[in-house]
Structure 1
Amino acid sequence: MYDVAIVGAGPVGLFLACELGLQGVSVVVIEREAEPGSTYRVEPLGMRGLMAASLAAFYRRGLLGDLLGLDEVPDVDQPSEPQGVGHFAGMMIDPARLKVESLPYRLPSPAPEAMMTSLDHVEGVLAERAVKYGVEIRRGAAVTGLTQYDDHVVVQAGDDEYAAQWVVGTDGGRSAVRRLAGFEFVGTEPMFTGYVMQAELADPGKLKSGFNLTPNGLYLTMRMDGHIGMMDFDGGAYDRSQVPALEHLQEVLRRISGTDVTLAKVGHTSTYTDRAMQATAYRQGRVLLAGDAAHIHSPLGGQGLNTGIGDALNLGWKLAATIQGNAADGLLDTYTTERHPIGEWVTDWTRAQVTTMQPGPHGQALQAVMRDLLETADGTAYIYGKISGMLNRYDLGNECLLVGRTAPEFRLEDGTRLADLMDGGRGVLLDFTGALDGIQLGEHFRYAAGPARNDLGFEAVLVRPDGIVGWAGDADRNAFEQAAKRCFA
């Protein structure tokens, strides 16, 4: 019997597998697709954006070099210059107005602020690492049954059964695990149908490149690879079980763009909506959900992949500690209490963008307000801070505004970075004054003492295994011991 069975070998499932494998947990990943690298996971249709909080996680697990295709990640002591850092409702953020160093609790890091990559590439990097940790990946059979017992769960996939102490569904928006386990899934119905296609235009000069918000919706073109996206405010009426005909796609594109552009050829096409739903809880007995299985929404702002990575990062160490008998009472329940508000935020964030984009005077009035805000440094910083994930904060019952956030990339005077201390999956106590020497924190935390190049005004900082600050302030031995005990028994 496995410790954990993960259903779904997308980035979220594989990242979680890596987190669990790093802790010595036995894991099997069950994937319905027989082979990786489908058309919708490679360039251009499989392109996705990874934002700052996700890239920090890859860096701190020693995965950033593989993600960037580099043997060694360049060291930096200055904030990176952000480029192409996102949009709100199709209105692009101007990097020239964004000063990363002015954002709260940010320090220079080798991890970039954002990058575009393909799902296939991310999955390849994670799968290779997961296998090194002893994770088994089984492909080619869809999950059709799930039975919970007092101390384990049995998953039926094709002709095979998998018994595990715990099951995690990371199997997407139409999650079989969510349905079979009886999770409640609630939210709002769609306002638009979205289309993504590879196409050749007879007259490409009639369309503008990039994101284009119009009185009738939004279209996106990437001229280098023939990638075209559209959002048609039809109330989600299109029958998505049907492959859109060229004539339909051309009619929609002409109406949204306000041009008489002609589609000469259409290749692969997919559709989606802005249906926004979330599981009311992320755990039912011994079954948990993460990623799109737990929450779905439109792709506006590129939050889906990043929110899912955050789910996996939060769940991994808590589930491992629970399996190994090291968790404080109720630690696993904090997965829902910490991540559910983030899922609620991201569904609302995408709803706000859809409302702003809607055709008609109400949408245009909101667009005017947002354009004004994005003309200001503060407005730009706020929007970027939210989509980067770096402004997300768990309520850990501490008034210090650093507590509950992704930890800044602290660097000691001897050159040691926080990431150097975290690649083994343990938490870290950074003691900038040395006053906590000899403190007993157990095997789950590393202790590092010495002055920092920038300590942000703190004497010591406790960083959880997921890179979240669990405590920060003066070097108070009792306070730090209590913060550590809230994580591990």
Structure 2
Amino acid sequence: MHDVVIVGAGPVGLFLACELGLAGCSVLVLEREPEPRSPWKAYPLGTRGLSAASAEAFYRRGMLHPLLTASGIHDDPGSSLDDSGTNPDPDELPPPRNVGHFAGMMLDPAKVDVAALPFRLPSPAPESMLTSLEAVETVLSERAAKLGVQIRHGVTVSAIARTDESVVARAGEHEYAARWLVGCDGGRSAVRGLAGFDFVGTEPQFTGYTMLATIADPEKLRPGFNLTPTGMYLQMATAGHIGILDFDGGTFDRSRQPTREHLQAVLRRVSGTDVTLSDVHLASSFTDRAMQTTTYRQGRVLLAGDAAHIHPPFGGQGLNLGIGDALNLGWKLAATVHGYAPDGLLDTYTRERHPIGAWVLDWTRAQTAVMRPDPHAQAIQGVIRDLLGTHDGTTYVFQKISGSSLRYDLCSEQPLVGRNAPDLHLEDGTRLSELMQDGRGVALDFSTDRRLHNSAMGWQSRIRYAAGPARNDLGFGAVLVRPDGIVAWAGDHAPDRDAFERAAGHWFGNPA
């Protein structure tokens, strides 16, 4: 019997498998698709954007360079990093290169107020990057194999049986038993339905289409996002790669493949042109249906990624939201498997991640409302464009979509606690992210007397201790960082050992 069976070998399931494998758990991944490769995962249809938090997660596990290579990125995104040893002034840090959009209205990187970004420090990880599902899955699959994770393709789970001690997933004549089961099997999750999770939300207002086509007269379509009186279309950089939003109330029958004639008619109506599609090579449809399970855990069955929440693909939030789920769940489930998790640790997965999922759903609903082809929405578009013309407006939206404003409520008034840790840099050249590659938490002690050393040694199998002056300690004497990169505790220049031990015990259980 495995410790964990994961259903779904997409980016979320694979990232979770890597986290569990890194922690020494026995993991089996079941994937219904017989082959891992698909034109929908490769460029250009499989193009996805990674946020700063997601890129940092790959960096912290030693997978950033392989991902950059697999993504065809040959220039170093961190090449402008100040590595001189001086403490960088936030006002002097360069603005982010790519900042995304809101409802098809592009943000200007020059209008991001860098000084307003909380606890920002330079890092070798890019603040955003374009990759593909194929690249992400390739890197994660190779990593999972090295960690002893088993992956089986062509396995469709049809039933789940639960006891107090285990879960059995049935697929045909085969049964796969584990102590825990996690559904990472996408928006039409079999695990979600079989386990009886409540799935609630809002119904669609539009049908969206994405396609790769041969266009006889591409000059009739404007590049980029185009909001029109009848909807929105997007002509991407790759020739023939088109996206369309048709505000039809989601009435298109998505059980059938959209034809060339249908796609051409919709594109003409939305674009207001007589553009001609000579051929359609690949096409699919989606809606803005926004749904979320009321909890991410039922006993020994958990959900992550699109299995727990679905929404339209605005701003690339889906992949990043799912990676955040996997990162949050992985170390907590591993601690539970190994028996040292403090009481209630696994319940914090839903408590921390459910509000983030709910926010993303609302963020996409707001964009849908702004893009509607009616006079009221178009009036709002004018207001939004004015706001995005200001530094405050652009900075607010960038903080939201980049993840830099994310903060879990960990019941602390200390402003750093609950946030994704900045890449703190010791004077000896060691970076926080480099200390996190083995999946343990990290205690950084900047105090001159190494005040926390003896206390931290009690958790040395779960917390890595590092001490010394920092190139920029942000005014703290010590920080405790969870394995998912979230700051669990921060002390002043004379950190309180008792406070550190309480925080360590709260998140990592009793000393080993």
Shared fold by TM > 0.5?
A: yes
2:498 counterpart of 1:484: no
Once the two structures are TM-superposed, the CA of residue 71 in structure 1 deviates from its matched residue by: 9.8
**Equivalent position of 1:316 in the other structure:** 330
Instruction: For 2:37 and 2:46, locate their aligned partners in 1 and report how far apart those are by CA, in whole Å.
Output: 9
**Equivalent position of 1:298 in the other structure:** 312
**Equivalent position of 1:409 in the other structure:** 423
Instruction: For 1:234 and 1:368, locate their aligned partners in 2 and report how far apart those are by CA, in whole Å.
Output: 23
Q: Are the aligned partners of 2:44 and 2:238 in contact in 1 as well (CA < 8 Å)?
A: no
Instruction: For 1:188 and 1:215, locate their aligned partners in 2 and report how far apart those are by CA, in whole Å.
Output: 24
Letter aligned with residue 476 of structure 1: D
Letter aligned with residue 477 of structure 1: R
Q: Are the aligned partners of 2:117 and 2:404 in contact in 1 as well (CA < 8 Å)?
A: no
Once the two structures are TM-superposed, the CA of residue 362 in structure 1 deviates from its matched residue by: 1.4
Letter aligned with residue 234 of structure 2: L
2:282 counterpart of 1:262: no
Of 347, 371, 379 in structure 2, the residue corresponding to residue 365 of structure 1 is: 379
**Equivalent position of 2:39 in the other structure:** 39
Instruction: For 1:9 and 1:221, locate their aligned partners in 2 and report how far apart those are by CA, in whole Å.
Output: 30
**Equivalent position of 2:366 in the other structure:** 352
Q: Are the aligned partners of 1:212 and 1:218 in contact in 2 as well (CA < 8 Å)?
A: yes
2:24 counterpart of 1:24: yes
1:170-216 alpha-carbon deviations (Å, 9 max, x no partner):
00000000000000000000011000000111111111111112222
Q: Are the aligned partners of 1:44 and 1:225 in contact in 2 as well (CA < 8 Å)?
A: no
Instruction: For 1:317 and 1:83, locate their aligned partners in 2 and report how far apart those are by CA, in whole Å.
Output: 32
Letter aligned with residue 16 of structure 1: L
SS at match of 1:400: coil
**Equivalent position of 1:335 in the other structure:** 349
**Equivalent position of 1:276 in the other structure:** 290
SS at match of 2:508: coil
Q: Which moved more, 1:96-105 or 1:300-309?
A: 96-105
SS at match of 1:308: helix
**Equivalent position of 1:56 in the other structure:** 56
Once the two structures are TM-superposed, the CA of residue 81 in structure 1 deviates from its matched residue by: 5.0
Runs of 4+ in 1 over 3 A off after TM superposition: 70-75, 78-81, 99-102
2:126 counterpart of 1:106: no
Q: Which runs of 5+ in 2 are unaligned?
A: 83-87
Letter aligned with residue 42 of structure 1: A
2:475 counterpart of 1:461: no
**Equivalent position of 2:208 in the other structure:** 194
Letter aligned with residue 182 of structure 2: V
Instruction: For 1:217 and 1:482, locate their aligned partners in 2 and report how far apart those are by CA, in whole Å.
Output: 54
Superposition RMSD in Å:
1.5
SS at match of 2:401: helix
Instruction: For 2:339 and 2:238, locate their aligned partners in 1 and report how far apart those are by CA, in whole Å.
Output: 53
SS at match of 1:19: helix
Instruction: For 2:332 and 2:350, locate their aligned partners in 1 and report how far apart those are by CA, in whole Å.
Output: 11
| Closer, same or farther: CA 84–72 of 1 in aligned 2, 3 Å | closer
Letter aligned with residue 363 of structure 1: A
Letter aligned with residue 437 of structure 1: H
SS at match of 1:234: coil
Instruction: For 2:498 and 2:239, locate their aligned partners in 1 and report how far apart those are by CA, in whole Å.
Output: 58
Instruction: For 2:412 and 2:393, locate their aligned partners in 1 and report how far apart those are by CA, in whole Å.
Output: 27
**Equivalent position of 2:85 in the other structure:** none
1:254-285 alpha-carbon deviations (Å, 9 max, x no partner):
11111121111111001000100000000011
Letter aligned with residue 143 of structure 2: R
Instruction: For 2:385 and 2:428, locate their aligned partners in 1 and report how far apart those are by CA, in whole Å.
Output: 45
Once the two structures are TM-superposed, the CA of residue 101 in structure 1 deviates from its matched residue by: 4.9
Once the two structures are TM-superposed, the CA of residue 225 in structure 1 deviates from its matched residue by: 3.6
Instruction: For 2:74 and 2:455, locate their aligned partners in 1 and report how far apart those are by CA, in whole Å.
Output: 37
| Closer, same or farther: CA 80–175 of 1 in aligned 2, 3 Å | farther
SS at match of 1:439: helix
Q: Are the aligned partners of 1:80 and 1:113 in contact in 2 as well (CA < 8 Å)?
A: no
Instruction: For 1:225 and 1:45, locate their aligned partners in 2 and report how far apart those are by CA, in whole Å.
Output: 12
Of 444, 456, 463 in structure 2, the residue corresponding to residue 445 of structure 1 is: 463
Once the two structures are TM-superposed, the CA of residue 83 in structure 1 deviates from its matched residue by: 2.7
Instruction: For 1:141 and 1:464, locate their aligned partners in 2 and report how far apart those are by CA, in whole Å.
Output: 34
Instruction: For 2:499 and 2:247, locate their aligned partners in 1 and report how far apart those are by CA, in whole Å.
Output: 53
Q: Are the aligned partners of 1:65 and 1:71 in contact in 2 as well (CA < 8 Å)?
A: no
Using the size of structure 2 for normalisation, the TM-score is 0.93
SS at match of 2:155: coil
SS at match of 1:412: coil
Q: Are the aligned partners of 2:416 and 2:490 in contact in 1 as well (CA < 8 Å)?
A: yes
Instruction: For 1:51 and 1:215, locate their aligned partners in 2 and report how far apart those are by CA, in whole Å.
Output: 31
Q: Within 5 Å, which residues of 2 pair with 1:64-213?
A: 64-69=64-69, 76-77=81-82, 79=93, 81-213=95-227
Letter aligned with residue 26 of structure 2: S
Q: Which runs of 5+ in 1 are unaligned?
A: none
1:416-439 alpha-carbon deviations (Å, 9 max, x no partner):
100111000001111111332322
1:16-45 alpha-carbon deviations (Å, 9 max, x no partner):
000000000000000001111112111111
Aligned-pair identity in percent equals: 66
Q: Are the aligned partners of 1:55 and 1:113 in contact in 2 as well (CA < 8 Å)?
A: yes
Q: Are the aligned partners of 1:101 and 1:107 in contact in 2 as well (CA < 8 Å)?
A: no
Task: Report the number of matched residues.
Answer: 489
Instruction: For 1:211 and 1:473, locate their aligned partners in 2 and report how far apart those are by CA, in whole Å.
Output: 46
**Equivalent position of 1:418 in the other structure:** 432
Using the size of structure 1 for normalisation, the TM-score is 0.97
